[in-house]
Structure 1
Amino acid sequence: MADALSLIPTSVLRSLSDKVYDKRRAAALEIERIVSQLAAARDHDKITAVINLLTKEFTYSPQANYRKGGLIGLAATTVGLKTEAPYHLEKIVPPVLISFSHQDSTVRYCACEALYNISKVVRGESIIYFNQIFDVLCKLFADSDSNVQNAAHLLDRLVKDIVSESDQFSIEEFIPLLRERMNVLNPYVRQFLIGWITVLGSVPDMDMLGFLPDFLDGLFNMLSDSSHEIRQQADSALSEFLQEIKSSPSVDYGRMTEILVLRAHSTDEFTRLTANIWIKDFVKLGGDQLVPYYANIIGAILPSISDKEEKIRAIACETNEDLRAIKANPAEGFDVRAILTIARRQLSSEWEPTRIEALQWILTLLRRHRPEVLPYLNDVINSLLEALSDKSDEVVLLILDIHACIAKEQQHFRQLLVLLMHIFQVDNALLEKRGALIIRRLCVLLDAERVYCELSLILEAEADLEFASTMVQMLNIILLTSSELSGLRGLLKQSLANVTEKSLFISLYTSWCHSPMAIISLCLLAQAYQHTSSIIHSLAEEDINVNFLVQLDKLIQLLETPTFAYLRLQLLDPARYTWLLKVLYGLLMLLPQQSAAFKILKTRLKTIPPYSISGKQALRTSQIMGEGDFWQDMTGNLIEGINFSMRLQQFEQMQQQHRFHRKLKSEQHFNIPTTSNEEKQKHGELPSFLDVREPPSRMSRRVPGQ
């Protein structure tokens, strides 16, 4: 200290702490001259003494003017040292950096000026303090004093130039500091950070792309800034990086994909758009690297498909198609279960396009990776069944496509229909609104005969008689009216004349007994007219209720449709189809005269040609048509192997059960608690898809002598 005092005149030291800037500047010039002489003599001990004097007596002083004098003195010392300055930086720079946190803005301004002059002299030698300088600049850009901010901008430009030309800069040491600052919300700091990212990204030998995952999220965060300028700068930086990615042979797609997936869900429209653009390009560029991230990507794409912004929707749809076109291998990290989970979650989306694409993914997985999907069916099957009540027909049809794909094997086919009956039973609204659509579609996808025979088998064992009757009535209407089931109707028309097709009639008969009108319709289709007449005559008074008359009205209407054109043509030959006439007159007698159906059927019967059966023909017919295993249909063919008497008894027994059930129900008080659909679902959850037991075989419940 004594050496320094002897070197620097007292008047100079006094002026260095003066409140007037010009006096401090003049003193600094004198210090620069003194230090320059010492440097020429390479007297580093005295130089160190001068630096210590300026630091301890001035830069660390509690008085602002002394601090300012110390800062300008240190800068002057550095200028005087010239090429010798790097040897003394460790004593010069730290006191300057400390001054940036001083509460007096004029001190902070002088610190900026001092560091600027120091850096200008030593250039690349200051890189060892880069992280501290960067940290200081980050704070100065948010300074409340505009003069300090302006000084910081000047210093920032100089430091950028130094870093750009230096080969000592360590990007590895800088990135953690950058990542830490990227979440700052101050707009000035954000501009400062974007500026540094842009500059470092433009340096040829600076591998900013390799560290992009460390600050990518921060850049995306800036896309939603309230300042248009910041949003534009962030977008420009991101665009440059994306272009660089497209031409780079090695990129860490995985870490960045995780960030993009999160940003694709942003509430900010511009952020979502940019994230989707990046994801689209990543899917095209990423290759095998992205396979483990497919589930997350799909989770981001599916909601974007229904985005309110058209551009986002278009990009998401394109990405979705590109991703689905890639045939990934589970052995390479393609997580089937994760994708199933994502797709199932999106089934509850409020947007129809998202639900549709989620179902498309499930269907794609089933078709491509069936062995890997089947073990996880229990994870999705209940969601698929619940989604059958979706308000969109397209969604429902797609769900049925998935069910049909699952049900390729007989085991899964049976399980599907059992579960479907269960959900129909607990969800009456679904049965009413979607039941017909579901059954018709399954008949197209899984073969109508196969579906109807299996449903019939299930309904045979149904303990809930009311549900069984409702279900059979619906199945019967579908059978009689749907174009999809025209082939099945054709088989039934030939079922009694063709030995190989007879089993179809037998398969449906037992369950159709739950509904008188259904069994009458079935027999009319099969042209078993004498048996139909027997069924009509067996009806008891209790059977002809409101529901029966409603169903009968529907049947009369259907008799006028193309479905029963063959039956109406048979009326041209009343001598041959006597039992058909008897059936129609029997139905007429059951209808109220004031009903429209009565008038329709009566009008139809009036159009029959006035032929009659001769006595000899009638006798021969009555002799042949006995109560045994051989009956004769109205075309003259014998029906072998069906005991219609036993079948009639079976129908009567079933109707007796229904009559008993209705009587029991009518005797109950209305205030007796019943189980709601919600309670049924709560206490009787859908059985596990893979645990549904196979129903008893048809042979075990076939009526003897059928």
Structure 2
Amino acid sequence: MRDKNENEIKSKIQMFLVFSDNETPAKRKSCLYGIAVIIITLYQKVRSQNVESISTQKAMNYLPMLKESLLKSFRDKDAKVQNAGFDTLFNIIKICKEAFLFDEPLFKEFFDAICTSIADQLSESKEWAKKCNELLRDVVYVACQNYNNFDLNMFIQFITDKFVNAKNNDFVVTMLRWIELIHSINNIPILNMMPDILPRLLQNLNTKPTQSNKSEAGHQRDISKKSQEQLMRFLNEFHNKDYRTLYLENQIIDTLLAHLLRKNPDQSQNQHELSKLEALIWLREFLIFFQKDFHEIAQEQEESQQRKFNEMVLKQEKQDQEHANQNHQLVTLESMNSEFQQEFSQNEDPMIMPPIDDNVNLDYLDAKSIVENNFERQYPAIIKVIVKYANIVKGDYLRVVEMINSTLLSLLIQTMDSKDEFQYIFNELKRQFRDSKTTKTKDIILDWFIELFKEFQEDIIEFYNDIFDELISSLNFQEQNIVNKVLELLSMLSKSNEKYLRKTIKKLIEKIHSMGDRNQFIVGQVIQVLCQSINDERVFLEFGRVLRDYQNDLYFIEEMIDFLTYTIAGDQYHESFRLKLRGKKPTECLASKEKLFNALLKTWSYNSVSTISLCLITRNYELAYYIIFRFTQIQIDKDKLVQFSKLVQLLESPTLAYLRIELMSNTLQQKYLIKTLQGILMILPICKSFYCLKTRIECVKFSKLDPPLKQSTIDQQFFGQPYEFNDQFKMDDILRQFDQKVIIMKDFYEKRDKLREEIFKLEKQKLKEQSLRAMQQNPQAPNDGLTKRISAAYSYVIPVNQKLPPK
């Protein structure tokens, strides 16, 4: 009887299905309504017997017969047929309920048809499809709450694929509601789908309302609002540690990086769009999550290893105690060792404490593997993001970027173990520094270098010191903060390595030499920052050694010595070095102040005025007195007069107050000092500097100093130790060295002046020839042009600091 009823129902359904291919829309629609009537009647008949599960199963038995006709009706050209098809499907879902979901292929096909209709802009049955979708959402919610045999992973992946590929706004809203529904159900692993749906959720935030269609604009606002709300819900849920894994966090960070580094096809869009800002917030949070979770796993591993180690130590102590109880006699160290080796070899497990790596748990191994891969791929990409958005975002979002920067740097320092891991980070930092065009970007990268060098100085210096060549090349001495940080890095490299110090100073001098507008401030800035990390004595000695290599440009040596002299004498930061030169503080690099002075003098002798200044700074007044007479053999030009004027100003500075006070002492040193100052006074022309120095000398009451006076202990206490001339520090040798440098400088300036005259004549002749050719080509032109050209030729002067071409 049961088979007879089923056959009868199938024959009736088949009778209606005949009309599904009929050319008349009315008959196709009647076919669908007839099928719906059969399904509803069947449901009501079985329900009258109070067996709902049987009705559901019976309806599902006939559904495969109806599938093709229903799917075809959804694509029908007639809107009424489409509506009838969705009306039939609505009744089927209502009757079958959760059983409709358990047939996976059938469910996918019908759900895909519903989605297609909703996504179709021209579909007239869209509202009917939405009703089927709403009913299906209710069915899914009940199935997820009550049934365990529903394939949630399949369904979540299906929804994810639909949402990611959605193009129509109506369909995007529909998929967002599905995601909200799944998220509202407990114990569903929806967070695992975040790497797939996150890009689309972020993309939805940039949806801009159109002015032409109010309905469409409403949809776009709804999409943006719902996407942002859903992102906030997901992010709040990730704060629960139970829902997170390092692998998932790593996947999400990769997704965010791909979104943040993607180039917009529309170049008119700026990076202030909401999706990029939201992605930055997510990246900040997930870096913090990753750092916390990795730290916890590493800490658990460390505690586990320590616990096992303690157990092994206790076990060994127990064995030692048992062994001691068995042997009461004294034994020698050799017998104890041989007995232990014998026992060790007989033990089945000879390892007293197995290697730590054998006890590493799988979570820790997975975490380390993820981190090692991140060094090569992910962390350099995050550095790109930091550099890219640090120059774009402002306000609160700038603080987000700064937080990403600090978190990543902290994470790197905590997880970096191998020297090989440095290369990926440093290559990216060097690339970004080389391509950076803003101060903000350079500042961030330099902070990275400084922190990494502080933590891994030896490893980095050994393998990555080439970065310093690029840092020096990038110096322009216009951005104070950048210059200070670059010099700080150079100091860190050179602090513990003599070779690198010399190389660094050589590169810095090459950079200064290549600059056309070098000045006292630049040199003082370089010296000040270097001396904050490196011994000032070493710095000045290395500058002197390197400068002696510039024999082909003695003008540059003279200029640099002038800068260095006034840096030593006038800068308050170099008080310690001045005390060493005066003998009030012991030297560190050389054995005595005499050797330090002699080492400096080898270079300072190229500048005669700076040599006098160095003698006055070091209280070597007797040597200054003998040198001042040699200015009768030195050509006094404008540059030297300017240097003497600067020296007079320097004598009035607070740093040389001891020299002015020493004028009051009644010693032989005072006699040499006053005579030296009088010599400077005679060299100076009548000017402000002349009257300033004259007034200072007139303040001293001269007394007869015929017999040589010895320096008292009080003078030594306040002014410093006198210089002792001996076999190693001879006055005659120093003066002879100075005379040789005077001759060298004299020859250099004579050759330069001669070459300048030759160039002047060549330029003059060249201008004359150009003027004559111009007159021959245009005889009617006035002679004023020739007169101006000849005047320009005679007025042509080569600047003093201009490099001259080889003869």
Confirm or deny: 8 A CA contact 1:223 1:234 kept in the other structure. Answer: yes
Question: 2: CA distance between counterparts of 1:333 and 1:225?
Answer: 46
The alignment status of 1:79 with 2:15, answered yes or no, reads no
- Matched residue, 1:491: 580
Secondary structure, aligned partner of 1:328: helix
Question: 2: CA distance between counterparts of 1:342 and 1:497?
Answer: 45
Q: C-alpha displacement at 1:636, in angstroms?
A: 7.3
Confirm or deny: 8 A CA contact 1:58 1:67 kept in the other structure. Answer: yes
Q: C-alpha displacement at 1:240, in angstroms?
A: 1.6
- Matched residue, 1:309: 394
Q: 2:417 aligns with which of 320, 323, 331?
A: 331
Q: C-alpha displacement at 1:257, in angstroms?
A: 0.5
Q: Cα–Cα, structure 1 residues 139 and 426, in superposed 2: closer, same or farther, change >3 Å? A: farther
The alignment status of 1:369 with 2:456, answered yes or no, reads yes
Q: Cα–Cα, structure 1 residues 240 and 335, in superposed 2: closer, same or farther, change >3 Å? A: farther
> How big is each residue's C-alpha offset from its partner over 1:449-505, in whole Å with a ceiling of 9 and x where there is no partner?
111111111112224323322222221121111111111011112289997222211
- Matched residue, 2:255: 259
Confirm or deny: 8 A CA contact 1:222 1:230 kept in the other structure. Answer: yes
Q: C-alpha displacement at 1:435, in angstroms?
A: 3.2
Confirm or deny: 8 A CA contact 1:191 1:230 kept in the other structure. Answer: yes
Confirm or deny: 8 A CA contact 1:175 1:214 kept in the other structure. Answer: no
| Greater alpha carbon shift after TM alignment, 144-153 vs 521-530 | 144-153
Confirm or deny: 8 A CA contact 1:574 1:609 kept in the other structure. Answer: no
Alignment map for 1:143-158 (pairs within 5 Å):
143-144=120-121, 148-158=125-135
The alignment status of 1:123 with 2:97, answered yes or no, reads yes
Q: 1:417 aligns with which of 479, 485, 505?
A: 505
The alignment status of 1:590 with 2:594, answered yes or no, reads no
Q: C-alpha displacement at 1:244, in angstroms?
A: 2.1
> How big is each residue's C-alpha offset from its partner over 1:174-201, in whole Å with a ceiling of 9 and x where there is no partner?
5266246425443222212211222122
- Matched residue, 1:448: 536
Secondary structure, aligned partner of 2:97: helix
Confirm or deny: 8 A CA contact 1:138 1:189 kept in the other structure. Answer: yes
The alignment status of 1:613 with 2:705, answered yes or no, reads yes
Q: Cα–Cα, structure 1 residues 268 and 581, in superposed 2: closer, same or farther, change >3 Å? A: closer
Question: 2: CA distance between counterparts of 1:374 and 1:358?
Answer: 17
Confirm or deny: 8 A CA contact 2:163 2:197 kept in the other structure. Answer: no
Amino acid of the structure 2 residue aligned with 1:423: K
Q: What CA RMSD, in Å, does the superposition of the two structures yield over aligned residues?
A: 3.5
Amino acid of the structure 2 residue aligned with 1:300: V
The alignment status of 1:241 with 2:223, answered yes or no, reads no
Secondary structure, aligned partner of 2:98: helix
Q: C-alpha displacement at 1:560, in angstroms?
A: 0.6
- Matched residue, 1:211: 193
Question: 2: CA distance between counterparts of 1:492 and 1:71?
Answer: 108
- Matched residue, 2:116: 139
Confirm or deny: 8 A CA contact 1:496 1:639 kept in the other structure. Answer: no
- Matched residue, 2:206: 224
Q: Cα–Cα, structure 1 residues 553 and 235, in superposed 2: closer, same or farther, change >3 Å? A: same
Secondary structure, aligned partner of 1:491: helix
- Matched residue, 1:626: none
Question: 1: CA distance between counterparts of 2:81 and 2:508?
Answer: 80
Secondary structure, aligned partner of 2:452: helix
| Greater alpha carbon shift after TM alignment, 167-176 vs 440-449 | 167-176
Secondary structure, aligned partner of 1:141: helix
- Matched residue, 2:743: 656
Confirm or deny: 8 A CA contact 1:495 1:504 kept in the other structure. Answer: no
The alignment status of 1:549 with 2:545, answered yes or no, reads no
> How big is each residue's C-alpha offset from its partner over 1:259-288, in whole Å with a ceiling of 9 and x where there is no partner?
223445682443233223322322332232
Secondary structure, aligned partner of 2:125: helix
Confirm or deny: 8 A CA contact 1:436 1:474 kept in the other structure. Answer: yes
**Structure 2, unaligned stretches of length 5 or more?**
44-54, 144-148, 209-219, 263-270, 295-366, 712-718, 764-802
Question: 1: CA distance between counterparts of 2:159 and 2:182?
Answer: 14
Confirm or deny: 8 A CA contact 1:264 1:304 kept in the other structure. Answer: no
Alignment map for 1:57-136 (pairs within 5 Å):
57-61=18-22, 64-82=25-43, 83=55, 84-127=58-101, 128=104, 129-136=106-113
Q: What's the TM-score once normalised by structure 2's chain length?
A: 0.69
Q: C-alpha displacement at 1:168, in angstroms?
A: 2.2
Q: 1:396 aligns with which of 483, 486, 495?
A: 483
**Structure 1, unaligned stretches of length 5 or more?**
1-37, 622-632, 673-679, 681-706
Question: 2: CA distance between counterparts of 1:206 and 1:649?
Answer: 93
| Greater alpha carbon shift after TM alignment, 269-278 vs 556-565 | 269-278
Question: 1: CA distance between counterparts of 2:440 and 2:139?
Answer: 54
Confirm or deny: 8 A CA contact 1:93 1:115 kept in the other structure. Answer: no
Question: 2: CA distance between counterparts of 1:552 and 1:110?
Answer: 106
Q: Cα–Cα, structure 1 residues 139 and 650, in superposed 2: closer, same or farther, change >3 Å? A: farther
Question: 2: CA distance between counterparts of 1:490 and 1:43?
Answer: 113
Identity %: 23
Amino acid of the structure 2 residue aligned with 1:277: I
Confirm or deny: 8 A CA contact 2:582 2:721 kept in the other structure. Answer: no
Question: 1: CA distance between counterparts of 2:33 and 2:90?
Answer: 11
Q: C-alpha displacement at 1:313, in angstroms?
A: 2.1
Question: 2: CA distance between counterparts of 1:260 and 1:201?
Answer: 21
Confirm or deny: 8 A CA contact 1:424 1:430 kept in the other structure. Answer: yes
Q: C-alpha displacement at 1:559, in angstroms?
A: 0.6
Q: Cα–Cα, structure 1 residues 607 and 360, in superposed 2: closer, same or farther, change >3 Å? A: same
> How big is each residue's C-alpha offset from its partner over 1:21-44, in whole Å with a ceiling of 9 and x where there is no partner?
xxxxxxxxxxxxxxxxx9884434
Q: C-alpha displacement at 1:574, in angstroms?
A: 6.5
Amino acid of the structure 2 residue aligned with 1:59: S
Q: Cα–Cα, structure 1 residues 300 and 608, in superposed 2: closer, same or farther, change >3 Å? A: same
Confirm or deny: 8 A CA contact 2:583 2:722 kept in the other structure. Answer: no
Q: C-alpha displacement at 1:308, in angstroms?
A: 3.6
Secondary structure, aligned partner of 1:331: coil
Confirm or deny: 8 A CA contact 2:159 2:178 kept in the other structure. Answer: no
> How big is each residue's C-alpha offset from its partner over 1:619-656, in whole Å with a ceiling of 9 and x where there is no partner?
x99xxxxxxxxxxx998764222133333333333343
Question: 1: CA distance between counterparts of 2:380 and 2:87?
Answer: 54
Question: 2: CA distance between counterparts of 1:636 and 1:355?
Answer: 49
Q: C-alpha displacement at 1:312, in angstroms?
A: 1.3
Q: Greater relative contact order: 1 or 2 (C-alpha under 8 angstroms, separation 6 or more)?
A: 1
- Matched residue, 1:279: 283
> How big is each residue's C-alpha offset from its partner over 1:294-351, in whole Å with a ceiling of 9 and x where there is no partner?
4443443455555543221233334444444454232389943333344444545455
Confirm or deny: 8 A CA contact 1:497 1:637 kept in the other structure. Answer: no
Question: 1: CA distance between counterparts of 2:79 and 2:608?
Answer: 98
The alignment status of 1:531 with 2:623, answered yes or no, reads yes
Confirm or deny: 8 A CA contact 1:305 1:312 kept in the other structure. Answer: no
Q: C-alpha displacement at 1:422, in angstroms?
A: 2.2
Confirm or deny: 8 A CA contact 1:517 1:548 kept in the other structure. Answer: yes
Amino acid of the structure 2 residue aligned with 1:203: I
Q: Cα–Cα, structure 1 residues 377 and 517, in superposed 2: closer, same or farther, change >3 Å? A: farther
Question: 2: CA distance between counterparts of 1:360 and 1:523?
Answer: 41
Q: Cα–Cα, structure 1 residues 470 and 229, in superposed 2: closer, same or farther, change >3 Å? A: farther
- Matched residue, 1:694: none
- Corresponding pairs, count: 620
Confirm or deny: 8 A CA contact 1:224 1:268 kept in the other structure. Answer: no
Q: Cα–Cα, structure 1 residues 432 and 613, in superposed 2: closer, same or farther, change >3 Å? A: closer
The alignment status of 1:189 with 2:171, answered yes or no, reads yes
Confirm or deny: 8 A CA contact 1:497 1:639 kept in the other structure. Answer: no
Q: C-alpha displacement at 1:366, in angstroms?
A: 1.2
- Matched residue, 2:658: 566
Q: 2:492 aligns with which of 405, 410, 418?
A: 405
